[in-house]
Amino acid sequence: MPRKKKEPETRPSAAPEEDSVYIAGAGITREDDVAETLRKNYMPYTMSVIISRAIPEIDGFKPSHRKLLYTMYQMGLLTGQRTKSANVVGQTMKLNPHGDQAIYETMVRMARGNETLLHPYVDSKGNFGKAYSRDMAYAASRYTEVKLAKIAEELFRDINKDTVDFVPNYDNTMQEPTLLPASFPSVLVNSNLGIAVGMASSICPFNLAEVCETTVALLKDPKHDISLTLKAPDFPGGGILLRDPDVLREVYENGRGSFRIRSKYEYFKDSRCIEVTEIPPSTSVEAIMDKVIELVKSGKVKEIADIRDETDKNGLKIAIDLKRGVDPDPFMRKLFKLTPLEDTFSCNFTLLINGVPKLLGAREILLEWIAFRRKCIARRTQYELNGKLARLHLLEGLEKILLDIDKAIKIIRETEEEKDVIPNLMIGFGIDEIQANFIAEIRLRHLNREYILTRVAETEQIRKDIEELQEILGNQKLIDRIIMKEQAEVAKKYAQPRRTKLADFFEEENTEEEDKVPDYPVTIFYTKEGYFKKITPLSLRMSGAQKLKDGDEIIDTIECKNDINLLFFTSQRNVYKARAADFDETKASVIGDYVPSKLGMAEGETCVGMIATQDFKGYGVFFYDNGKAARVPLDAYETKLNRKKLTGGYSSKGELVRSVGIEEDTEFALFSTNGRCLMLSSALIPVKASKNTQGVQVMTLRKGQTVGEVAPASILKKEAKHRYRSRNLPAAGALFHDTDAEDGKQRE
């Protein structure tokens, strides 16, 4: 059978759109701007994730948490018996249009059995897994049971009194609250993590009693130093938090920072066994054991005889058997450094405030919560006031009837049709329709003396209540007193002792010993481009010329010990601390280690200076391109903890030309870009205690001129030094002659 010939493709007769193009084989295509397409299609998704999914609001909940808890509240699970988790999940789907597994996982993290929250909102029965275990899975929803925990009462306090707004659910069949009127700052009491598009949120938990105390203090004095009452985060898994005042201040004021949490352990001498019972919240039992086993296999840890996971229904436990003769405390400090037994928790306090994501410090969060709670109480008070006014209105109509009951009865008896009873009462007593309806519904049995006296007394009490409610609405101090009273009640009912213990710098200094490093002579070389070499004397004697990158030069050559401390100053005014032992031994024939990469500096951050010091004695001398110089004690860079990075390491008023460490007064030669040289002694530079001081003017410069180079005065010939020396500062120096340099180097 002959093959049918393929008909040629014909261009459609319909007129294409104005911005479309016909391409053979592809049909009609349209050219769109990529940026505009992304804006139209991707931005709505981005905003939906940020606003409706991942970022918590001032009540401390994401939409998924709020919908689940409100469903349980509507199901009457604040009281009574538990119900199957599957039942709650199914009911929640009326508010949350997601799969049942996603809803159940949300419930698991809020359950008491999972131990994720400091104060769980869900009272659970059954296997809900454990937050500290990666492999301990939770049971299916059909096997577990839940109800709301007692503290959840505080989340829904007066929710039916118009304290918060309600909106329709996704199919407009139900109403749900936009926020929960929590009577305590739940946003800081329980942790909340969320990753959106382009932003994330990570809120650490704080002790309930401390949060309530801090809230009361801020109500009394908005300028209160919250660090006095809010000591530090308190994690449900306990552990030991190494408190850094600088980090705390940053978190409290700006909402960012990282806390170091250390595991808690106990040593049993008879069995030579260490039992770890509390670990950081950012790791798991399995991750710790995997890392320890890896270190043992690689030979980096040789003190362990056995390690076991003995976690059971009584709680977390990692057992580590030590070999004979091993000192447990130094060994654990080694594990803290090498394993997740000591880990960090990074804070990022991003919240939705009135639908707008904001990064707030703990202080600002509490102030925002106070403003939110004030509105809730004001709305509740207005709701109660409206109810009292409506009741008073009815009783005032009743008062008029009680003055002449016989007349009211006569009007009702003489009215021929039922529909005319209300209008006739309105006309007869001068009352409105609402009052007339209320009177018409009164039973005859109530028209007695006792009923009348009771209603009169009720009227007087309602008038007093109305005065009190109106006074509250007109006086913010009274609202604040209500909030203070609520905080005291919540703290009394639900406060718990701190689970996470605190260790100060001084305690850490007494307990932590630095690892011993081999102490032997080395020569270190540091270049202008930021390369570092460490060479032993034997290797140096046998080597030839130093290999350098094109255009690079050695600016520091120091004979020292292998354990000497190194301070590297960067282009972003940071200081990175290291030791010579952190660098590998090398040879003169290699370029060496590039310091920014070796120390993990930020992208674009370069090294602009180095100071070597054995014991942080002496001074650091800093020379800037604007002709200023500063002398700072090196102990300003010594820290209690072995911190690797310090911010604000030197002045931001000028560009750093040279940094030098000295133990006694030394002379330097400064060269300006207009060909002048000034020789001065460091003794003429006053000592300043602040690291970021800009120092004093030592060299006067003409407009457009800067200091281009700083070198030891030894580069000048002895007979020429008097020409450039100056005892009074600032000074312009003298024109430099190349013949006066020992190294013969030409300087502009």
> Which residues belong to the active site?
143
CA pair distance 292, 225, nearest whole angstrom: 42
Query: At CA 690, angle to CA 687 and CA 696, rounded to 5?
Result: 50
> What is the 8-class DSSP label of residue 618?
S
**Which residues are CB-neighbours of 517 under 8 A, at least 6 positions away?**
562, 563, 579, 581
CA pair distance 50, 221, nearest whole angstrom: 33
CA pair distance 720, 732, nearest whole angstrom: 17
- Please give the structure tokens belonging to residue 91: 């009911």
CA pair distance 306, 294, nearest whole angstrom: 13
The DSSP code sequence of 87-131 is: HHHHHHTTT--S-HHHHHHHHHHHBGGGT-SSS-SEEEES----T
Chain-centroid distance, C-alpha 551: 44
Report the relative pairing of strands 501-503 and 240-242 from DSSP bridges. Answer: parallel
- Please give the structure tokens belonging to residue 234: 């308190």
CA-closest candidate to residue 370, choices 617, 532, 187: 187
- Please give the structure tokens belonging to residue 123: 């009272």
CA pair distance 67, 70, nearest whole angstrom: 5
Neighbouring C-beta atoms of residue 287, cutoff 10 Å: 17
Integer CA distances (angstroms), 116 to 105, 158, 192, 639, in order: 12, 27, 10, 34
- Please give the structure tokens belonging to residue 523: 């020569």
User: Which parts of 541-695 are beta strand (E)?
Assistant: 554-561, 565-570, 575-579, 593-594, 607-613, 619-624, 628-633, 645-646, 656-662, 667-672, 676-681
CA pair distance 429, 131, nearest whole angstrom: 70
| Separate counts of helices (H) and strands (E) for the chain | 19, 35
CA pair distance 394, 438, nearest whole angstrom: 7
Neighbouring C-beta atoms of residue 91, cutoff 10 Å: 17
Neighbouring C-beta atoms of residue 712, cutoff 10 Å: 11
- Please give the structure tokens belonging to residue 498: 């701190």
Contact at 8 Å (CB) between 252 and 227? yes
Q: What is the gyration radius of the CA atoms in the chain, in angstroms?
A: 38
* Sheet (strand 145-148) strand order: 83-84, 145-148, 122-125
- Please give the structure tokens belonging to residue 681: 């002694």
CA pair distance 609, 575, nearest whole angstrom: 10
CA pair distance 428, 26, nearest whole angstrom: 86
